[in-house]
Amino acid sequence: MNIDWGSPAAHAFITNVGIITSNGPIGANAMAAEWTHQISYSPGLIAVAISNHNDATAENIRATKEFGVNLAATDQDVASSISGKSSGKNIDKIAVLKELGFAFYAGKKIASPMLENASLNVECKLVHEVKLGSHTLFVGEAVDVRVGAKEPLAFHAGKYWKLDTPIQKPSDAERTKMKAMVAAYVRE
């Protein structure tokens, strides 16, 4: 069965807001991708699921075998909206973002522009492309990492969110009880 865009099931997830930058036949471009996840520590791999509707980003990545992952910070929701609501095939979104005051730096190891003041910037070289259902997974290996000072923006139920209240850890007494309970269920 499907889990459709905007459905209650799809809205149950909490995701990142990746601004995926690329620079290829379409020109320099940025797209928003909530399906941006680290999937390996060693080597550092990041997977981005991009719709099979022939987006500009997919075309740029296929041609250049590289892309930038920029995790939007809590004050960069507008950058996500601009990057996510039109295609680089028609609009120079990097120019729009610059006009709005967002800055970019030149990638060190890749030709894509990288978003300044993001929570995280990772320059990636494409290592796998896997077509899955409605989307294709582009897996990139990290070749340059820059950790920003700002908190990452979260996406949930079609809205942008700021994470600000960590859940309190159980007390020592509760943790001792939990440990004992786990120990009581060791498989023979």
Tell me the closest approach of the beta carbon of residue 127 to ligand FMN, in angstroms. Answer: 19
- Residue 170: C-alpha distances to residues 139, 160, 167, 177 (Å): 37, 29, 9, 10
Cα separation of 165 and 43, whole Å? 31
Q: How far is the CB of 6 from ligand FMN (least distance, A)?
A: 12
Interface residues for ligand FMN in 39-98 (CB under 6 A)?
49-51, 55-57, 80-81, 83-89
Show contacts with ligand FMN in window 143-172 (CB under 6 A): 155
Among 19, 33, 69, 114, the residue binding ligand FMN under the rule CB under 6 A is 33
Stretch that binds ligand FMN, among 32-40, 97-105, 113-121, 162-170 (CB under 6 A): 32-40
Quote the least distance from Cβ 179 to ligand FMN, whole Å: 39
How many residues make contact with ligand FMN (CB under 6 A)? Answer: 24
Question: Which residue in 97, 140, 141, 146 sits closest to 121, CA to CA?
Answer: 146
To the nearest whole angstrom, how small is the minimum distance from the Cβ of residue 134 to ligand FMN?
9
Q: How far apart are CA 144 and CA 152, in angstroms?
A: 19
Q: What residue type is assigned to position 185 of the chain? A: Y
How many angstroms separate the CA atoms of 124 and 103, rounded?
Answer: 20
Q: How far apart are CA 77 and CA 55, in angstroms?
A: 21
Which residue's Cβ has the minimum distance to ligand FMN? 84
